[in-house]
Amino acid sequence: MSDDFEQKRRRVLRAREAIEGAGWAFDAYVKKLTAQWINEDSESRREALHCRVRAALELKAELAAIIDEADNDEVIREHRERNRD
């Protein structure tokens, strides 16, 4: 396996570990915003809080999806290399 592919594999692994490790922070942030949303009387403020919650959830999901896609690409590349030999 070439060094470039090994470096990419390590980067993907580190990114996955970072997202999994920071997942609690996303969850705590969403929980905090949700509590503020529940207690807010202003409709415009509630809407802003809702947008922030949605953005945090989407960011967490999109980061995980990018990592999964890179991981899947690596599996496909390894499969192609094995079948080439």
What letter does residue 40 receive in the DSSP assignment?
Answer: -
What letter does residue 42 receive in the DSSP assignment?
Answer: -
Rounded CA-CA distance 29/33 in Å is 6
Note the pTM of the prediction, 2 decimals.
Answer: 0.74
Stretches in the chain below the pLDDT threshold 50 = none
What's the CA dihedral at 69, 84, 3, 7 to 10 degrees? Answer: 10
Q: How far is CA 42 from CA 27, 38, 46, 83, in A?
A: 24, 11, 6, 61
Task: Please state the separation of Cα 65 from the chain's center in Å.
Answer: 6
Interval 5-25: pLDDT, tens: 788 888 888 999 998 899 999
Task: Output the pLDDT for position 29.
Answer: 96
